[in-house]
């Protein structure tokens, strides 16, 4: 028996290195490189009339100043629309450097290359750009009114109109015993990784090859983009993601203008060039997400069964659509959650605004979809005077109904079919974990003491592990070291640990012998990337398949040497042995030596292996026709469609009636991502996700003013929660319903924690205040406004709050 | 976010520093803890010609409790040092109560209390403490005797003090508490360690029979400078344990004129003034009882 590693909560192997400062992030690379600064648009919507660089060229140490006119070939073309879609009828992208106009504050116009970043900024400050102002469009309602346009040739500001539909919504709403209609909004936020983007490029003029380091979630695709845009042969370009200080979605977008411009300048100047984004740049020139306005109508019966749901969503897409309409697609499909629904229509109008582009941020449209569905459930319960958990329960898909076909097409272009799950059991666990049943008594006791408590819950289903594929390579070296490589990148997910656990278990080797490499196109050239909660499912299964190939080959070679049947062999702790015969053993390192017929005896291992060497028969080549030298395996995992994880969060909040400050008293999570590779890593993912969910629910806004200026573009005013704002304790219950779709039975876990945050916390605040919550996030100042509005009679109270006061008065 | 080039001087004595500052006039900027200045430099919001780094000057890092009970804090004393200073806490508990709310540990380890006062940020804890304790700033300049400027004269507006070109704040003096008085400090920030949306430092003085004689309060983040408000009227002569603190809070709310920002509207700030005052005053009164021989 091999020591069990799959499923064990072992400590992350990468942490020690990263914590003691031995990580190698982008800005740790290339200290001698030239520095870059950009002149970025200070205006949200303007035509560029003139660019005067005369004062800047005089700054000592400046090497080059580039604007659009300097770009050539494909570089002068618009940036690609990565993921076209039939509903994306008016796609727009910017240029690497602005071509005559700018559509958001922060858009790059001029690139300055100097001895260092300090001098580059000195020069950038001296560049004068003349603008002709146009009226900026800020906010989805302004975009919908279309009094002015973001792009002159798209007068209605609509990039895409996506309709997802099944059943007959109009008829079902007409026949429904009850209906409710409401409008709600959810604010913008952003991925906001601690390390911003960054690119370093080095051109080898003799070799005619380019090496690029970039802080990305997809090195293979950046490589392809650079080769295409810079007209280089793919084999002359290598792209490496070094240690990456967080991504959360923003670094899956590619190519960023800087990912093209830095290598382009490095080739032109024949010098190493580096740009490391600063925080101010990140706020105004990377990407945001979340912002939606949702108009919802639901029909339901007396028991709270949802009969029809009609959602019209305005999605703020920012100035451009380089990443297509992935976020609207996900919102409109994942809105359905764990519930059965016969009649559904969701129209998402994806509108342009003169703001930073909108691309996936952890959750990627799911928090908004969850907000729509879960707040609908709360409305239904409130209207009927039913328990909110009971209304959810009656609508849940039952455990024996999988696979469950939702009759829609998911983000991967495949049918939205839930593969497995047990939602009723999940809800039961959640109720126990948070103390749902006894809460009303607690709440009213606290209220009698002048303390305002509230409870809320939200459930979700998350499509994870989207294709098309990932690959894995496993190689046993003659030293016994096991190299594992996969092409997707790592930004803190714990891949060095999780992939090693999988290979250790599959191959039967000690985890200490395993070294995992990711995100390096020199090691693995075919990959998709790390996003959509897909790394564990995709590369996890790929490295498992590769390890199985290695195991099979190792057993075949050992069987020949030990003259036994391969079926009688096992690998334990890196040694091949015959079951029931403790004497007959062969270390995997020796098998690795034997796997290569060229066997110069460089070392002891090779010399030892030669004692097993047998001459192949005289009429067979040393490497058989169907074989190759070396003990290695490569395989790909390509799923037929996504696998669907699920979860349920519940939260208890307390609102201070005096200061309106919100405290999270309890946060409970039940989570199902199929078989767990490493529960500790999954819990870490949940903790981080909950932290971001709390941020989105209580703290984070992108405060654009009416001119399109971001008012809070710094960590002083954009309020990500500190550790002091995240619940001290998060109670987690795991449920494991294996996925039938992949060999390991696993589902993704990366985004889960963030999805239900705003929905659950909105519900809890609504419960605590008795005031209808239609907009998130809420800070104490907004809660104070709500309370005053309630006192003035201008706020909408929940029906439940009226029921409670009636009960108290009787 | 890289600063433009700047000159740098590192004088080794106060005299040398004053000479350098006198030479530089408007072109000089004192660097102590750098917790506000360095970000401003990096964001190119300020571009002084020369930084005068006073960190190498001996004798500026002392906390002294004077005979009258006031606490004198040298220009290089870090918040963390003041926070940990037992005698200072004993003499003036309000110092620690406020200092523990200054940002986070990393900022307190570098940032100086004196620099925080000199920065004259009305959101700063130490500005309010200087004001309510009737403290002062000791200002030196070349060829002149050190002058002692009271808080009311020192703070001119947001981020604006009376420190002129060539001048150096060598220390700040926090005034001793009145006999039979107690203090409290409360603030509410969006996140722990952020600039407060509103904060209040209060002192309550009782007479021998534990009746209220004086109530004073100074606020953070509710006005251009840290004014000290007298809130005695609604509670004068009332027993500390049953005084109408709510009325004092409401009076405070009627006296302040806060402004709104991204994080808190003006109305909400006014509400916080009222609520935090009402909550702080009984704590201060209880502190007065605990610290002195007042008959509870």
DSSP letter string over A418-442?
E----HHHHHHHHHHHHT-TTHHHH
% of chain A surpassing 70 pLDDT = 98
CA distance A60 to chain B (A): 12
**pLDDT top residue among A721 and A615:** A721
- The neighbour count for residue A175, using CB atoms within 10 Å, is 12
Q: Do A125 and B191 touch (CB under 8 A)?
A: no
Chain B neighbors of A660, CB-CB under 8 A:
268, 271
* A320-355 pLDDT per residue, tens: 999 999 999 999 999 999 999 999 999 999 999 999
Q: Given a cut of 80, is residue B36 above it in pLDDT?
A: yes
Residue A555 near residue A506, CB atoms below 8 Å? no
- Minimum-distance CB partner of B4 among A122, A724, A779: A122
Q: Do A658 and B279 touch (CB under 8 A)?
A: yes
Q: List all residues 6 or more positions away from A481 whose beta carbon is below 8 Å from its beta carbon.
A: A513, A514, A515
Fold of A375-461+643-809: Aldehyde Oxidoreductase; domain 4 (3.30.365)
What is chain A's mean pLDDT, rounded? 95
Q: What is the pLDDT at residue A457?
A: 98
Q: What is the pLDDT at residue A615?
A: 54
- Minimum-distance CB partner of B1 among A279, A699, A711: A279
Burial class (CB in 10 A: 0-12, 13-18, 19+), A738: middle
Query: Is B181-291 in CATH node 3.30.390.50?
Result: yes
Chain A neighbors of B190, CB-CB under 8 A:
699, 719, 779-780
**Identical fold, A32-134+197-244+251-285 and A467-637:** no
A533-572 burial code (b ≥16 CB/10 A, e <16): bbbbbbbbbbbbbbbbbbbebbbebbbebbebeeeebebe
CA distance A246 to chain B (A): 21
Q: What is the pLDDT at residue A3?
A: 59
Best mutation target, B271, B274, B278, B280, to test chain A (most A CBs within 10 A): B271
Q: What is the DSSP letter of A674?
A: B
- The CATH superfamily assigned to A32-134+197-244+251-285 is Aldehyde oxidase/xanthine dehydrogenase, a/b hammerhead (3.90.1170.50)
Chain B neighbors of A278, CB-CB under 8 A:
1
Q: Do A711 and B263 touch (CB under 8 A)?
A: no
What is chain B's mean pLDDT, rounded? 96
Query: DSSP assignment of A324-341, as one string?
Result: TTHHHHHHHHHTTTTB--
Q: How confident is the model at residue A582 (pLDDT cuts 50, 70, 90)?
A: confident
For chain B, give every domain's residue range.
7-53, 63-174, 181-291
* A727-768 pLDDT per residue, tens: 989 999 999 999 999 999 999 999 999 999 999 999 999 999
| Ramachandran category for residue A192: left, alpha or beta (phi over 0 → left; psi -120 to 50 → alpha) | left
- The neighbour count for residue A643, using CB atoms within 10 Å, is 30
Q: How confident is the model at residue A1 (pLDDT cuts 50, 70, 90)?
A: very low
Q: What is the pLDDT at residue B82?
A: 97
Q: What is the pLDDT at residue A807?
A: 85
Q: What is the pLDDT at residue A603?
A: 72
**Identical fold, B7-53 and B63-174:** no
SS3 string, A174-227, reads HHCCEEEEEEEEECCECCCCCCCCEEEEEEECCCCEEEEEECCCCHHHHHHHHH
Longest CA span, chain B: 63
Establish whether the linkage from the previous residue to A403 is cis, with ω within 30° of 0: yes
Helices A757-769 and A366-384: angle between axes, nearest 10 degrees: 30
- Minimum-distance CB partner of B1 among A280, A716, A784: A280
Residue whose entry in the numeric block shows the structure tokens 């540990």: B105
CA distance A330 to chain B (A): 31
Report which secondary-structure segment, H or E, holds B168.
strand B167-174
Residue A368 near residue A331, CB atoms below 8 Å? yes
Q: Could you give the CA distance from residue B6 to residue B32 in angstroms, rounded to a whole number? A: 16
Query: DSSP assignment of B61-110, as one string?
Result: --EEE-TTS-EEEETT-BHHHHHH-HHHHHH-HHHHHHHTTSS-HHHHHH
Q: Could you give the CA distance from residue A406 to residue A461 in angstroms, rounded to a whole number? A: 12
Q: Given a cut of 90, is residue A602 above it in pLDDT?
A: no
Q: Do B263 and A781 touch (CB under 8 A)?
A: yes
Give the mean model confidence (pLDDT) for residues B41-58.
95
CA distance B66 to chain A (A): 37
Q: From A280, which residue of chain B is nearest by alpha-carbon distance?
A: B1
Chain A neighbors of B272, CB-CB under 8 A:
659
Q: Given a cut of 90, is residue A552 above it in pLDDT?
A: yes
- The neighbour count for residue A140, using CB atoms within 10 Å, is 23
Q: Given a cut of 50, is residue A685 above it in pLDDT?
A: yes
Q: Given a cut of 80, is residue B53 above it in pLDDT?
A: yes
* B248-257 pLDDT per residue, tens: 999 999 999 9
CA distance B135 to chain A (A): 29
Q: Do B267 and A784 touch (CB under 8 A)?
A: yes
Fold of B63-174: 3.30.465
Q: Could you give the CA distance from residue A35 to residue A62 in angstroms, rounded to a whole number? A: 9
Query: Residue A299 corresponds to which tokens in the numbers above?
Result: 């029909």
Give the mean model confidence (pLDDT) for residues B56-63.
97
A interface residues, B as partner, C-beta within 8 Å: 117-118, 121-122, 125, 278-280, 658-661, 699, 703, 711-712, 716-717, 719, 721-722, 724-725, 779-781, 784-785, 788
Give the mean model confidence (pLDDT) for residues A355-382.
98
* A431-485 pLDDT per residue, tens: 999 999 999 999 999 999 999 999 999 999 999 999 999 999 999 999 999 999 9
CA distance B19 to chain A (A): 30
Q: Do B263 and A703 touch (CB under 8 A)?
A: no
Cα angle B94, B97, B99 (rounded to 5 degrees) comes to 100
CA distance B72 to chain A (A): 31
Q: Given a cut of 90, is residue A162 above it in pLDDT?
A: yes
- Minimum-distance CB partner of A711 among B262, B271, B275: B262
CA distance A39 to chain B (A): 12
Query: Is A467-637 in CATH node 3.40.50.300?
Result: no
Q: What is the DSSP letter of A300?
A: E
Q: How confident is the model at residue A583 (pLDDT cuts 50, 70, 90)?
A: confident
Domain B7-53 class in CATH = alpha beta
Query: Residue A798 corresponds to which tokens in the numbers above?
Result: 């929940």
B interface residues, A as partner, C-beta within 8 Å: 1-5, 43-44, 188, 190-195, 197, 262-265, 267-268, 271-272, 275-276, 278-279
% of chain B surpassing 70 pLDDT = 99
Q: Do B44 and A712 touch (CB under 8 A)?
A: no
Best mutation target, B272, B274, B279, to test chain A (most A CBs within 10 A): B272
Q: List strand residue ranges (DSSP E) for A466-578, in order.
A: 470-476, 482-486, 514-518, 569-572, 575-578
Q: What is the pLDDT at residue A617?
A: 67
Residue A191 near residue A127, CB atoms below 8 Å? no
| N-terminal to C-terminal alpha carbon distance within chain A | 68
**pLDDT top residue among A805 and A763:** A763
Q: Do A725 and B267 touch (CB under 8 A)?
A: no
Cα angle A729, A734, A738 (rounded to 5 degrees) comes to 155
Give the mean model confidence (pLDDT) for residues B9-32.
97
Paired strand residues for A152: none
Q: What is the pLDDT at residue A604?
A: 72
């Amino acid at each position: 028996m091999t020591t069990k590693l799959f499923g064990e909560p072992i400590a992350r192997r990468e942490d020690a290195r990263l914590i003691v400062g031995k990580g190698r992030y982008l800005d740790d690379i290339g200290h001698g490189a030239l520095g870059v600064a950009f002149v970025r648009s200070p205006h949200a919507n303007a035509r560029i009339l003139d660019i005067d660089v005369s004062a800047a060229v005089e700054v000592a140490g400046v090497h080059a100043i580039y604007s659009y006119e300097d770009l050539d070939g494909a570089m002068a073309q618009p940036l690609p629309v990565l993921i076209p879609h039939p509903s994306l009828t008016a796609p727009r992208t910017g240029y690497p450097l602005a071509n005559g106009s700018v559509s958001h504050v922060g858009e790059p116009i001029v690139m300055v290359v100097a001895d260092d970043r300090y001098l580059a900024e000195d020069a950038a400050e001296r560049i004068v750009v003349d603008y002709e102002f146009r009226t900026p469009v800020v906010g989805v309602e302004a975009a919908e009114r279309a009094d002015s346009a973001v792009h002159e040739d798209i007068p209605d500001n609509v990039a895409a109109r996506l309709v997802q539909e099944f059943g007959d919504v109009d008829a079902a709403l007409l026949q429904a015993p009850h209906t409710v209609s409401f409008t709600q909004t959810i604010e913008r936020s952003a991925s906001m990784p601690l390390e911003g983007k960054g690119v370093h490029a080095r051109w080898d003029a003799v070799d005619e090859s380019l090496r690029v380091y970039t802080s990305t979630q997809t090195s293979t695709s950046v490589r392809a983009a650079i080769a295409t845009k810079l007209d280089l042969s793919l084999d002359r370009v290598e792209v490496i993601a070094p240690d990456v200080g967080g991504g959360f979605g923003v670094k899956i977008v590619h190519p960023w203008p800087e990912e093209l411009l830095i290598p382009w300048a490095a080739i032109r100047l024949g010098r190493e060039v580096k740009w490391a984004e600063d925080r101010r740049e990140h706020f105004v020139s990377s990407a945001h997400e979340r912002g939606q306005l949702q108009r919802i109508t639901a029909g339901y019966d007396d028991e709270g069964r949802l009969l029809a749901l009609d959602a019209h969503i305005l999605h703020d897409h920012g100035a451009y659509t380089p990443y297509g309409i992935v976020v609207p697609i996900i919102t409109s499909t994942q809105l359905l959650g764990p519930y059965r629904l016969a009649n559904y229509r969701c129209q998402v109008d994806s509108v342009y605004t003169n703001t930073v582009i909108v691309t996936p941020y952890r959750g990627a449209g799911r928090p908004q979809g969850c907000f729509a569905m879960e707040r609908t459930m709360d409305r239904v319960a409130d209207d009927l005077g039913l328990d909110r958990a009971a209304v959810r329960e009656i609508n849940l898909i039952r455990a024996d109904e999988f696979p469950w076909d939702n009759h829609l097409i998911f983000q991967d272009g495949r049918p939205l079919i839930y593969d497995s799950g047990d939602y009723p059991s999940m809800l039961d666990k959640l109720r126990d974990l948070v103390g749902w049943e006894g809460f009303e008594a607690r709440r009213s006791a606290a209220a009698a003491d002048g303390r305002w408590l509230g409870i809320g819950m939200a459930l979700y289903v998350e499509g994870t592990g989207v294709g098309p594929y990932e690959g894995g390579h496993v190689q046993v070296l003659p030293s016994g070291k096991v190299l594992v490589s996969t092409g997707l990148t790592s930004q803190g997910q714990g891949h060095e640990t999780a992939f090693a656990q999988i290979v250790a278990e599959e191959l039967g080797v000690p985890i200490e012998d395993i070294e995992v490499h990711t995100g390096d196109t020199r090691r693995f050239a075919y990959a998709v990337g790390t996003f959509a909660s897909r790394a564990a499912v995709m590369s996890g299964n790929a490295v498992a398949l590769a390890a199985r190939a290695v195991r099979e080959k190792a057993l075949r070679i050992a069987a020949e040497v030990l003259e036994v049947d391969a079926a009688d062999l096992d690998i334990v702790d890196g040694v091949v042995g015959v079951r029931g015969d403790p004497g007959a053993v062969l270390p995997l390192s020796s098998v690795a030596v034997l796997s290569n017929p060229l066997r110069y005896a460089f070392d002891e291992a090779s010399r030892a292996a030669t004692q097993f060497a047998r001459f192949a028969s005289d009429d067979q080549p040393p490497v058989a026709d169907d074989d190759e030298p070396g003990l290695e395996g490569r395989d790909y995992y390509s799923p037929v469609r996504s696998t669907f994880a699920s979860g349920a969060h519940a939260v208890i909040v307390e609102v201070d009636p005096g200061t309106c400050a919100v405290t999270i008293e309890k946060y409970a999570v039940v989570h199902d991502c199929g078989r767990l590779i490493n529960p500790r890593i999954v819990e870490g993912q949940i903790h981080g996700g909950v932290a971001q969910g709390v941020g989105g629910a209580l703290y984070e806004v992108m405060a654009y003013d009416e001119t399109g200026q971001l008012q809070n573009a710094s960590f002083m005013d954009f309020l990500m929660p500190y550790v002091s704002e995240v619940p001290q304790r998060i109670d987690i219950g795991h449920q494991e319903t294996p996925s039938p779709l992949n060999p390991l039975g696993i589902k993704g876990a990366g985004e889960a924690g963030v999805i239900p945050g705003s929905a659950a916390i909105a519900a809890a605040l609504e419960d605590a205040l008795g005031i209808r919550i239609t907009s998130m996030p809420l800070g104490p100042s907004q809660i104070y406004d709500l309370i005053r509005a309630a006192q003035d009679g201008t706020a909408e109270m929940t029906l439940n709050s009226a029921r409670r006061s009636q009960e108290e008065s009787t | 976010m890289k600063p433009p080039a700047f000159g740098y001087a590192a004088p080794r004595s106060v005299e040398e520093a004053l000479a350098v500052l006198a030479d530089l006039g408007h072109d000089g900027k004192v660097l102590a803890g750098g917790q506000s200045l360095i970000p401003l430099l990096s964001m190119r919001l300020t571009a002084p010609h020369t930084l005068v780094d006073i960190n190498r000057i001996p004798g500026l890092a002392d906390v002294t409790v004077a005979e009258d009970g006031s606490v004198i804090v040298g220009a290089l004393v870090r918040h963390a040092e003041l926070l940990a200073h037992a005698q200072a806490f004993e003499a003036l508990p309000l110092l620690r109560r406020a200092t523990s709310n200054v940002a986070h540990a990393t900022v307190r380890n570098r940032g100086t209390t004196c620099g925080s006062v000199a920065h004259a940020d009305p959101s700063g804890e130490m500005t309010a403490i200087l004001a309510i304790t009737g403290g002062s700033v000791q200002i030196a300049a070349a060829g002149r005797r050190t002058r002692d400027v009271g808080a009311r004269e020192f703070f001119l507006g947001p981020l604006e003090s009376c420190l002129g070109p060539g001048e150096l704040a060598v220390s700040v003096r926090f005034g001793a508490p009145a006999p039979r008085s107690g203090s409290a400090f409360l603030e509410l920030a969006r996140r722990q360690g952020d600039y407060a949306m509103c904060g209040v430092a209060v002192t309550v003085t009782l007479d021998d029979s534990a009746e209220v004689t004086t109530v004073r309060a100074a606020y953070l983040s509710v006005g251009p400078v840290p004014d000290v408000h007298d809130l005695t009227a609604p509670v004068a002569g009332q027993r500390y344990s049953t005084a109408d603190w709510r009325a004092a809070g409401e009076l405070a709310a009627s006296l302040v004129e806060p402004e709104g920002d991204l994080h808190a509207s003006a109305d909400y700030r006014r509400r916080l003034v009222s609520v935090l005052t009402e909550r702080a005053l009984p704590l201060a009164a209880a502190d007065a009882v605990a610290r002195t021989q007042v008959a509870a």
